[in-house]
A = this chain, B = another copy of it.
Amino acid sequence: MMHTSELQWTAQEQSIAKAAFDRAYQREIQALVQLVRDQAGSIAGTDDVWRLHDFLSARRHELDGKYDERESALLFVFADLLKAGWLSLDDLNGLDALKLSKITALTRLM
């Protein structure tokens, strides 16, 4: 069990974290937008339109849960986003070495 709540975040690190967080969210949303635009062209009937709605409901629920801005959750959120490819380590450049090593360790556990 990692005691992530004991980590201190400097103002600069908070700013880096916020920027990385927002960047990942925007990237993921843009991919979703592209998917919806692609799918919309093939919507033809009742099933298709409700399938699109189900899909958006599930993605929204997932994204609401995943993008947890609490400091105690940030290492896990970043590990998840690195693993999924929405962030690279470059996006986290400027966080202290301990946080970065915890994040990469978490990534390997996922």
Cβ–Cβ contact A53 & B45, under 8 A = no
Cα-based distance from A14 to B43 in the complex (angstroms): 31
- Dominant secondary structure of chain A at its interface with chain B: helix
Among A37, A44, A49, find the residue whose CB has the most chain B CB atoms closer than 10 A: A49
- Contacts A29-B45, A49-B56, A57-B53 hold; do A37 and B36 have CB atoms under 8 A apart? no
* Copies of this chain, whole number: 2
Interface residues of A (CB under 8 A from B): 25-26, 29-30, 32-33, 36-37, 39-41, 43-46, 48-50, 52-53, 56-57, 60
Given contacts A26-B46, A30-B45, A56-B56, 19 further A-B contacts (CB under 8 A): A25-B46, A29-B49, A32-B49, A33-B43, A33-B45, A33-B48, A36-B40, A36-B49, A36-B52, A37-B41, A37-B43, A39-B40, A40-B40, A40-B43, A49-B56, A50-B60, A53-B53, A53-B56, A57-B57
